């Protein structure tokens, strides 16, 4: 019988960040600065902390980081327009829409609007399918 293992979260995190640092340095050496856009709708304090943490990590890795803060009353159409603009922006390689969204916005619709290649969370149905199928291309 296999015994449960306790993972050292800090050690795993440090290893992942170091791997990202090396990959980022290689991209920058080729003239590519990775770009992450984070979209936050509303002013949830926990989301603010999480998004701030991502921005600091990106800065430490040498990423270009873009934080888009939208008011709680942002409409779904307005948010989808922001997502379309980020999808089309060649300087943005990854998009993270911070959940939860206000109740009047469909998270599923927003997820489906993301370019699967820029979907940082991996929530787009195409990315979920690749994960389930263990498809290495995703």
Q: What is the pLDDT of residue 1?
A: 64
Higher pLDDT: 19 or 4? It is 19
Q: What is the pLDDT of residue 61?
A: 92
Give yes or no: 103 in active site: no
Q: What is the pLDDT of residue 70?
A: 98
Q: What are the structural domain ranges in the chain?
A: 32-132
Per cent of the chain over pLDDT 70 is: 99
Distance of CA 46 to the CA centre of its chain: 16
Give yes or no: 54 in active site: yes
Local confidence band at 135 (pLDDT 50, 70, 90 cut-offs): confident
In this predicted structure, the answer to whether residue 134 has a pLDDT above a threshold of 90 is no
Q: What is the pLDDT of residue 2?
A: 80
Local confidence band at 137 (pLDDT 50, 70, 90 cut-offs): confident
- Identify any residues that bridge with 68 across adjacent strands, giving them in sequence order: 39
Confirm if 120 and 96 have CB atoms less than 8 A apart.
yes
Q: Which of 44, 89, 115, 121 is catalytic?
A: 121
Q: Which of 54, 76, 89, 130 is catalytic?
A: 54
List helix spans (H) across the chain.
9-29, 45-61, 76-88, 107-113, 125-132
Give yes or no: 135 in active site: no
Burial (CB count <10 Å: 0-12, 13-18, 19+), residue 59: exposed
- In CATH terms, the fold of domain 32-132 is Rossmann fold (3.40.50)
Confirm if 38 and 83 have CB atoms less than 8 A apart.
no
Alpha carbons 58 and 55: distance in angstroms, whole number: 5
The 8-class DSSP code of residue 46 comes to: H
Q: What is the pLDDT of residue 7?
A: 84
**102: Cβ contacts below 8 Å, ≥ 6 apart:** 41, 42, 72, 73, 74
The string of pLDDT tens digits covering residues 48-103 is 998 889 889 988 999 999 999 999 999 999 999 999 999 999 999 999 999 999 99
In this predicted structure, the answer to whether residue 138 has a pLDDT above a threshold of 80 is no
């Amino acid at each position: 019988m296999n015994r449960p293992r306790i993972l050292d979260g800090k050690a795993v995190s440090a290893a992942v960040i170091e791997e990202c640092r090396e990959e980022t340095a290689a991209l920058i050496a080729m003239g590519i600065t990775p770009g992450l856009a984070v979209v936050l709708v509303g002013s949830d304090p926990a989301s603010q902390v999480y998004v701030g943490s991502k921005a600091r990590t990106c800065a430490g890795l040498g990423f270009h980081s873009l934080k888009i803060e939208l008011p709680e009353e942002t409409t779904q159409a307005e948010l989808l327009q922001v997502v379309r603009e980020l999808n089309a922006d060649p300087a943005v390689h990854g998009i993270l829409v911070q959940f939860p969204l206000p109740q009047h916005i469909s998270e599923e619709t927003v997820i489906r609007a993301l370019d699967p290649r820029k979907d940082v969370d991996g929530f787009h149905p195409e990315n979920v399918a690749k994960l389930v199928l263990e498809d290495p291309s995703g």
